[in-house]
Structure 1
């Protein structure tokens, strides 16, 4: 796996972290990113570089410059470097982008109000959009991270072992690897995640989006309650479109469909979903933090990570908790299940 670099920092931290990072009593050591390790991969950090010059940094942070103008100029600079890397005979597998903290803090989110509509321009989203256009996968890193001492563990940043686990797992996936996969699921089960979003420039309408290895966008709809939910017809149409796409992609009808949401199912949308699912085996699963329920166990420690409890028609799952391999619960707050 070849790494490309855009920004102002060096790649020494990545090379060192790829060899493995020590843990402590509360953090698993990072196993390393090596051919003989669990990832069975190597990150080549001698790949192409596209530096951002000090003059360009000064230009985008010049006094009296409008923030949105500086934001767009910064994206243009980064896009120019992405274009150079994408044009190579062998483009990098993943491109690391590091920027000084003064740049990240200034342009991470730029607010603009036009005719009563507020738009937030996000630096990370802007970089990702341009990278997708160039056909490149990117990973943003804080310059403070790559300039920190891996051995000292005295930084205000997240522990280096945790950083390495998260970072190398992410780039492994972005480069086409699968770090894990669910087990025990019935073959052919179609899992759908439903979310909602507001189209750019729209204030009074929401849209639905369903993801299951691909993304389908629904039609706009108006809503007046606290939580958005589609009307009957839109919910039914959305699921029918998903089933049609599944048949087209997989060449067969899904024997079992599971719909996941992060809010409860309202009567209107539930009616629409169930209408479209009437000839299928299905489950409707709503996930949310459990604010009023806490589990306890005998002994000094809270429930183990993965504890599952059934109370009436509700199920509670601890996605964090006591970790036997660490011999502790590595956080300082009361556990809450979903």
Structure 2
């Protein structure tokens, strides 16, 4: 039997910032060239209005943290490309943070402490909802203002809440218990793959068994169309168990900037305007049927504009195979929704549309998507499968990030994590696992792997360059959980800045 293998090394993704320079590291690009939207000139607001909701103690800590981020924060240790000092918020983003008592809402700390202690009792579900309602009342009062309406709100959680009320057990029906058991069984079958990555984006048993405080708060913020950022003591306080202060400042500031409406960086726009779409599946509850399956599309334009759309609901069958499929009609409807939303946001249809999924596309899905996207010149469907395939090389380190291995000319494997020459190390905790990239449609595998690698750098929720999943799929669990909390209705706002 003939065995042929070729290995190609892709360059690290190049990112655009405010100046003419392009960098592979967001921290370097922001420090030396500023955010991409500096190019917008006078249309750009020089301030970000930050609202705060929390107890007196957490508001004091959050205010001190914002003041701290307004100045340089040196890295405490040996600096490197991964570990850089924070140049101040204005130094990195060329905007100043504005916060004041007029944009601050104080909630009762003693009552929150009491509620967190009562979560172990039989009425824990009601106590959890009361915690949610207390913070939602603060968000609502800021959202309804005609003046002093913030661009983004920090929800400052006390330690008792962040430790004890992060999740609460759900009361499951028999149908839901069957679905949860099915998910658990399917995850058990995947344990044969070492360090399987799928659970990072796919729904787990715990997603069904518990309500999540972050998801509940973000769902209400989505309804009020006011982005929020959760702040806990692990962000605002220095300790031996949390990240180093400069690193926390970088990650916090990038997320805050994006949620306030900014564009931190973007991929260079090629000759062909492209829409990237990730398709995933999740369960949610509805008043029409207690448990249903729903498809979820996360889409991104060439300029980085991201939005999320929930597809049609279908009955959740606990006997269904792991790889949930869309019918031809459902694929057509979801493809049409994505295209309409893209046009509404950009003014034009893309010339190229790429769909990512973690399961194979079957014939009805292919026909449905192609029918919906028949006006798009280039349509490609790409499956990303965490693989048991491994490459070994001499020395102590795994293959470089961006390594592409093609076996017998038709199976392609991509490392989106691995040794990073710029850092002179592999910064991951486990053996890096490549994706098998399977491409169907108008794009070549060489284009597909390059797109996937580039999109791992488009996570505007962090300044870290170590993301493994492309942004088309990386927030699937989080978006699904928030839409589950949102309920039956379709939210008026679909921008990804409300979900991350």
Q: Give TM class, smaller chain.
A: 0.7 to 0.9
SS in 2 for 1:140: strand
Mapped partners of 1:252, 1:134: distance in 2: 28
SS in 1 for 2:92: coil
RMSD: 2.9
Q: How many residue pairs align between the two structures? A: 331
1:280-319 residue pairs with structure 2 within 5 A? 280-290=377-387, 292-311=388-407, 312-319=409-416
On the 8 A contact 1:20/1:29 being kept in 2, the answer is no
1:1-338 residue pairs with structure 2 within 5 A? 1-7=48-54, 8-9=57-58, 10=61, 11-18=63-70, 19-22=72-75, 24-25=77-78, 27-35=82-90, 37-46=91-100, 48-61=103-116, 63=118, 64=121, 66-88=123-145, 89-113=147-171, 115-116=173-174, 118=176, 120-148=210-238, 155-201=240-286, 202=289, 205-212=292-299, 213-222=306-315, 224-247=320-343, 250-277=346-373, 280-290=377-387, 292-311=388-407, 312-338=409-435
- 1:14 is displaced (CA, Å) by 3.4
SS in 2 for 1:258: strand
- 1:139 is displaced (CA, Å) by 0.9
Say if 1:73 and 1:214 are closer, same or farther in 2 by CA, change over 3 A: same
Greater CA deviation, 130-139 or 112-121? 112-121
On the 8 A contact 2:73/2:245 being kept in 1, the answer is no
SS in 2 for 1:177: coil
SS in 2 for 1:2: strand
Greater helix fraction, Structure 1 or Structure 2: 2
TM-score in terms of structure 2 length: 0.59
On the 8 A contact 1:305/1:318 being kept in 2, the answer is yes
On the 8 A contact 1:33/1:42 being kept in 2, the answer is no
On the 8 A contact 2:401/2:415 being kept in 1, the answer is yes
Could you report, residue by residue, the CA deviation over 1:181-218 in whole angstroms, capped at 9, with x for unpaired residues?
12254432222221222231456642223232444433
Unaligned ranges ≥5, structure 2: 1-47, 177-207, 300-305, 436-500
Mapped partners of 2:140, 2:334: distance in 1: 37
Greater CA deviation, 306-315 or 69-78? 306-315
SS in 2 for 1:195: strand
- 1:164 is displaced (CA, Å) by 2.2
On the 8 A contact 2:86/2:249 being kept in 1, the answer is no
Mapped partners of 2:272, 2:165: distance in 1: 46
Mapped partners of 2:344, 2:139: distance in 1: 34
Higher relative CO (Cα under 8 Å, sequence separation at least 6) belongs to: 2
SS in 1 for 2:141: helix
Unaligned ranges ≥5, structure 1: 150-154
